[in-house]
Structure 1
Amino acid sequence: MTHSEQPQDRSQGPAQRGAAPSGAPVEGCVFCGVVGGDVPAELVASTDAVVAFRDLAPKAPLHVLVVPRAHHPDVVALAAAAPAVLADLVATGARVAADGGAADGEHRLVFNTGASAGQSVFHAHGHVLASPGDALGGDL
């Protein structure tokens, strides 16, 4: 099971899932647990604002999740509340891809927003996908 596939309570509406004042940690959020050191993860990069760690079930040779340290339920909420953190998340994703050997730093940075779009952990996160030395191939 990937970090992004950990089961979450879907009985609440999207506005309630992952709701926390001012980016405070949410009890039961697996990514808040990773950020807080309570959930083990293989960290590959971190800044004051974000943490990057390997996905447990990678979908590409390089598959890293980049999450903000503060809890925001999705990338749209993150962009509205903390655009500088989103910029750091994107920059960290690019650095992870380059450091991971992606040719010319080429990579995908994927955000799933909402349950019907495949988001299963309601803590904003980007999937950095790259294939060092090879092409990922095609558009999404």
Structure 2
Amino acid sequence: MDCLFCKIINGEIPSSKVYEDDKVIAFNDINPVAPYHILVVPKKHYDSIADISEKEMEIVAHIHNIINKIAIDKGFSDAGFRIINNCGSDGGQEVKHLHYHVLAGKKLPNYEANQK
């Protein structure tokens, strides 16, 4: 498979790891848009959230638990953060492996205000 995130998970491409367990890996984005810009990626390959079967959906809950853990560990849970999951080409997904962006460390603009 020629998936960028699978190569990071397999150690073929280096990353600045923030967290890892048997189900997910989290690392700093190489093109951050906030002081904290962390990607949380399941180790099992799913193209997007639309490809997760109902019986495997617990991975999403696990990812959200890990996001909370990272927010507490990094000290931005109280100030707040944004979680983004782009799904498919119209949703802005660039890497076809399910992943969540966690943005924090500054006041983020209101998304809806930017869409007018």
TM range (shorter): 0.7 to 0.9
From 98, 110, 113, the equivalent of 1:138 is 110
Q: How far did residue 103 of structure 1 move?
A: 4.8
1:128 alignment counterpart: 102
Unaligned runs of 5+ in 2: none
Q: How far did residue 81 of structure 1 move?
A: 5.2
SS at match of 2:15: coil
1:40 alignment counterpart: 14
The CA RMSD measured in Å over matched residues stands at: 1.7
Residues 53 and 79 of structure 1, relative CA distance in 2, 3 Å threshold:
farther
SS at match of 1:116: coil
Q: Is the 8 A contact 1:45 1:53 kept in 2?
A: yes
Cα separation, 2, equivalents of 1:113 and 1:71: 14
CA deviations over 1:73-132 (Å, ceiling 9, x no partner): 00222363521211111111122222222151621110000112110111000001111x
Cα separation, 2, equivalents of 1:30 and 1:138: 30
After TM superposition, the score normalised by the length of structure 1 is 0.73
Residues 129 and 79 of structure 1, relative CA distance in 2, 3 Å threshold:
farther
Cα separation, 1, equivalents of 2:66 and 2:84: 14
After TM superposition, the score normalised by the length of structure 2 is 0.87
From 36, 52, 69, the equivalent of 1:95 is 69
Calculate percent identity across the aligned residue pairs: 34
From 97, 105, 108, the equivalent of 2:82 is 108
One-letter identity of the residue aligned with 2:96: F
2:56 alignment counterpart: 82
CA deviations over 1:11-37 (Å, ceiling 9, x no partner): xxxxxxxxxxxxxxxx11000011111
Cα separation, 2, equivalents of 1:121 and 1:59: 17
How many equivalent residue pairs? 112
Q: How far did residue 136 of structure 1 move?
A: 2.2
